[in-house]
Amino acid sequence: MSKQVYNFCAGPAMLPQDVMREAQREFCDFNQLGVSVMELSHRGSHYMKVAEQAEQDLRELMNIPSHYRVFFMHGGGRGQFSAVPLNLLTRGDAADYLLTGHWSKGAADEADKYADVSRIQGLETDSDGHTRVTEKLRIRAEARYLHYCPNETIEGVELFELPDSQGKPLIADMSSMLLSRSLDVSRFGLIYAGAQKNIGPAGLAIVIADPALFVDARDDIPAILDYRQMEKHGSMYNTPPTFAWYLAGKVFQWLKRQGGVAAIEEHNKAKADYLYQYIDSSDFYRNTVAVSYRSRMNVPFQLPDRALDPEFLRGAEQRGLLALKGHRAVGGMRASIYNAMPLEGVKALVGYMELFEKLQRR
C-alpha cells in the first residue's frame, strides 16, 4: 500500500481494506475460471452461488425473519424513494413521512408524486438550542405506513429508538446505518438502503420487506422497481448490478469475521464516543445535535470561524485525512465513520484537530 489514508467520505464511503484486496486478487480470475466475476452470467451456477451466499449472510447478520424478502436492486437509495410508495400504496392512498432532515424530506418529496403524503415535523429545538425528536407524532388514521430515516447522513442526527408508529407499518431508509448496530427486523414493515455507505458500491439497493405489505402492482409501475417482479425472479428480473452484489457479499463475510453486528456496534460506539468526547471537551470545535441523537456514523462539527475551513481541510488532506468537508446544506466539517473506519482513523483525526486548534491559538 502507498501512504496511509483515512477516507471520511459520507458516500461512496470507505470499504474494508481486506475486502478490497480480496476483490483485487480475484479481479481477473474468479474461481479459476479465467474471467472476472463481472463477466459471468448472472444466471450461471458460479454467480448464483455468490448471490445466494450474500443473501444468506445478510439474513444471518441481521437475523431476518424467514418470511421477509430480501432484494438486491438497482437505483440506490433514491430508487426506493419511488419504489416504496409504488409497491405499498394504490393510487390515492395516504402515507405519512417523519421529517428529521434532508433525506427524509427527499423521500417525502418523491412519494408526493404517487401518494397522498403528510409530512410530520420530526424535530424540535430545546431551550439549549439542541435538536431533538418530537415526542407526540400526529399520524393520520388513514396512513398506510410511517416512513422515517433512522440516520440523517447530512445533519448527523440518529434515532436510536423506533418512533411510535401507532400500529402503522414502519418503513425505514437505513442507507447510512444498516448493519452498524443491532435491530429487531420484525418491528419494521420494510427496510431499504443504498449500498455506498456501509455495504458496497453505489447503485445497489438492499430491500428487506414483509411481503404482506405489497399491494397488487399498479399498471404504471416500472418493472425494475416492482417488488413482485423481484420476488418472482429472485432480484434477477433484469441483469442485477452483479459486481456490486458480489462486493456486498464480501462485506457481509468481512462483517461476520469481525464478530457480526453486535461486535461492530461496540466498535462504532467506541469510535463515535472518542470523537464526540473530544469535540465536547474542546471549546474550539462544536456539534449542535442533542447528545442522545448524535449519529454514530456521521459526525458534523464546526470550527469557530468558517474562514478557517479551507485551511483545516488542506492540512487534513496533507495528513491523509480525506473528504471531511461538510455537506453544503450544513457547512463546516463532517466525519463519516462507517463500519469500515478503524478506531486508528478516528484517533488520527482527533490528533490533527488538536494540532490545528493549538496552531490557531498561538
Give the residue numbers marked as catalytic.
103, 173, 197
Q: Select from 38-46, 172-180, 230-238, 283-291 the region that touches ligand PLP (CB under 6 A).
A: 172-180
Q: How far is CA 41 from CA 72, 226, 227, 239, in A?
A: 16, 22, 22, 9
Q: Which residues contact 38 (CB under 8 A, 6 or more apart)?
A: 242, 243
Tell me: does residue 156 bind ligand PLP (CB under 6 A): no
Tell me: does residue 78 bind ligand PLP (CB under 6 A): yes
Tell me: does residue 73 bind ligand PLP (CB under 6 A): no
Q: How far is the CB of 2 from ligand PLP (least distance, A)?
A: 28
Q: Which of 47, 73, 77, 99 is in the footprint of ligand PLP by CB under 6 A? A: 77
Q: Which of 16, 55, 73, 76 is in the footprint of ligand PLP by CB under 6 A? A: 76
Site for ligand PLP in 279-308 (CB under 6 A): none
Pull the grid cell for residue 217: 402492482
Q: How far is the CB of 235 from ligand PLP (least distance, A)?
A: 17
Q: Compute the C-alpha angle 174/154/95, nearest 5°.
A: 50
Q: How far is the CB of 204 from ligand PLP (least distance, A)?
A: 8
Could you tell me where the DSSP H helices lie in 93-206? 102-111
- Closer of 102 and 286 to ligand PLP (Cβ): 102
Beta bridge partners of 190: 171, 209
Q: How far is the CB of 15 from ligand PLP (least distance, A)?
A: 15
Q: How far is CA 361 from CA 83, 310, 351, 355, 357, in A?
A: 52, 17, 16, 10, 6
Handedness of CA 298, 303, 307, 312 (dihedral sign): negative
Q: How far is the CB of 354 from ligand PLP (least distance, A)?
A: 29
Handedness of CA 57, 58, 63, 67 (dihedral sign): negative
- Closer of 64 and 154 to ligand PLP (Cβ): 154
Can you say how many angstroms the Cα of residue 238 is from the centroid of all Cα atoms in its chain? 25
Tell me: does residue 105 bind ligand PLP (CB under 6 A): no
Number of H helices, E strands in the chain: 9, 15
User: 3-state SS of the chain: helix, strand, coil percent to 5?
Assistant: 40, 20, 40
Q: How far is the CB of 169 from ligand PLP (least distance, A)?
A: 19
Question: DSSP for 231-268?
Answer: HHHTT-SS---HHHHHHHHHHHHHHHHTTHHHHHHHHH
Counting residues that bind ligand PLP (by CB under 6 A) gives 13
- Closer of 37 and 191 to ligand PLP (Cβ): 191
Q: Select from 25-33, 76-84, 209-217, 274-282 the region that touches ligand PLP (CB under 6 A).
A: 76-84
Beta bridge partners of 286: 302
Q: Which of 6, 30, 97, 103 is in the footprint of ligand PLP by CB under 6 A? A: 103
Phi and psi for 247 in degrees, rounded to 5? -70, -40
Tell me: does residue 153 bind ligand PLP (CB under 6 A): yes
Nearest residue relative to ligand PLP (C-beta): 76
Site for ligand PLP in 187-226 (CB under 6 A): 194, 197, 202
Q: Which residues bind ligand PLP (CB under 6 A)?
A: 11, 76-78, 103, 149, 153, 173, 175-176, 194, 197, 202
